[in-house]
Amino acid sequence: MFYGELKSHSEEQQINDPNVKAKDFTTFLKFVYTGSVEVDGDNLLQLLYLAKIYDIENLRVSISEIVVNGIDNENIISLWDSANQLGETEIAKKCEEYFLLNSAKAMELIQPQRVSKDIILRILALDLDVEEIKFFQLAQKWIGAQESPSKELVEQVISLVRVAQIPSKDLVMFVKPTNLVPDRILLEALSYQLCPESFSSSPDLQFKPRAPIIPESNWAWKTCGKNSKIVGKVVEQTSNGYSLTIGDKPLKKWAIKILKLTTGWWNLVVGAALQNIDLNDYLTKSTSGWGYVSTGVLRHNSGAGGSETPDSYGVGDVIKVEVENSQVKFYKNDKLVGALNCTTNELYPVVHLCKIGDSITIVDCK
């Protein structure tokens, strides 16, 4: 590895780490010496591990971005677990957000024998839009996949299942025969279902339905034109002139809140775009952009002006965009304004600003 005075006195130096494959360490060394790296689905986590233990921050950041962008229903659990083990809190957070948004499908694909204790406990504690019997069945399968689980571990896992929210028929047919839930808890669950109001003051989560959580946002701004800057969720115009800011992924719906706006035609357009749109021109100039102008009109492949309409918007208003069935739909404060036809459903969030000081931000999309 080293030469001259730095060369080891022995001909070879071995690095014994059961977590690292030789070929992945070779790839890691290539990055250290050349600054370039070849990654694939098999070596991502090992490279992230190496970047972490050898404190190669630029590699860690690059790999983290690739991991986050590659999360899907099939790899979510392994990535989430690895992020926890490596202390990569941002990746773990993104995994949890993804799971919240795709819980029904992601839960179906979980292989219990590959899920760590920390992850199974976290999943069972989440407020997901999933039938409670699914939580019990996941807990049952996970316990069954463990080798001689202790009584304490079984109780800890089962305590996170809200047994009282499982229909009585399922309690009798599927839950009771497993002997995982004490008779006392089953009796309380059946009593709750007969007379739920008598449990209204109980602090026990068993008697409270899960309230699904929707993350603030599952996307971010990726890049912008020369006259704008990105500050977290906010886009600010730094000088006069058309400038677009585009999101990091195609979405089906998103929402933007207006923070500051100068009155005038083409000063703000909220819309959707193809990935290849020119970021230093106005949004609807070409066939790549679909937009809702702040003066209240909808435009695509057009620079035509027009007078202000009742659908104009300004500071404090929230503009939502939905892409479905080859249409881009626009809403002002949850009221449908209109729609434009589009050639694809793979469109990116985009905003067009023009006047210095104007700004917008990403907000929750209901």
- pLDDT value at residue 314: 93
Q: Which residues pair with 323 in a beta bridge?
A: 328
Q: 81-89: list long-range contacts, CB under 8 Å, 24+ apart.
A: 81/115, 81/116, 81/118, 81/119, 82/45, 82/48, 82/49, 84/116, 84/118, 84/119, 85/116, 86/48, 86/49, 86/52, 87/52, 88/48, 88/52, 88/64
Domain identity same for 116 and 87: no
Domain identity same for 32 and 65: yes
Q: What is the pLDDT of residues 229-279, one digit of tens each?
A: 999 889 999 999 999 999 999 998 999 999 999 988 789 999 999 999 999
Question: Is residue 162 over pLDDT 50?
Answer: yes
DSSP conformation class of 285: S
User: Is residue 106 in some structural domain?
Assistant: no
287 vs 26, more confident: 287
Band (pLDDT 50/70/90 cuts) for residue 43 is low
Contact 238, 229 (CB under 8 A): yes
Q: Which bin fits 86, alpha (ψ -120 to 50), beta or left (φ > 0)?
A: alpha
111 vs 32, more confident: 111
User: Is residue 167 in some structural domain?
Assistant: yes
240 vs 1, more confident: 240
- pLDDT value at residue 5: 43
Exposure letters 302-329 (e unless 16+ CB within 10 A, then b) = eeeeeeeeebebeeeebbbbbbeeeebb
CATH classification of the domain holding 302: 2.60.120.920
Question: Is residue 364 over pLDDT 80?
Answer: no
Domain identity same for 233 and 278: yes
Report the distance separating Cα 223 and Cα 247, nearest Å.
7
Domain identity same for 226 and 140: no
Question: Is residue 308 over pLDDT 70?
Answer: no
CATH classification of the domain holding 173: 1.25.40
- pLDDT value at residue 8: 45
Say what percent of the chain tops pLDDT 70. 85
Report the distance separating Cα 10 and Cα 285, nearest Å.
67
Q: What is the pLDDT of residues 129-156, one digit of tens each?
A: 788 999 999 999 999 999 999 999 999 9
DSSP conformation class of 175: I
The residue from 207, 232, 252 where one domain ends is 207
Question: Is residue 176 over pLDDT 90?
Answer: yes
User: Is residue 216 in some structural domain?
Assistant: no
User: Is residue 200 in some structural domain?
Assistant: yes
Contact 268, 286 (CB under 8 A): no
Q: What is the pLDDT of residues 195-232, one digit of tens each?
A: 888 887 888 888 888 866 545 457 899 999 999 999 98
Residue 321 domain boundaries: 221-362
Question: Is residue 330 over pLDDT 80?
Answer: yes
Band (pLDDT 50/70/90 cuts) for residue 16 is low
User: Is residue 82 in some structural domain?
Assistant: yes
Domain identity same for 137 and 94: no
Mean pLDDT (the chain, rounded): 84
Number of domains within the chain: 3
- pLDDT value at residue 7: 46
- What's the mean pLDDT in 109-120? 91
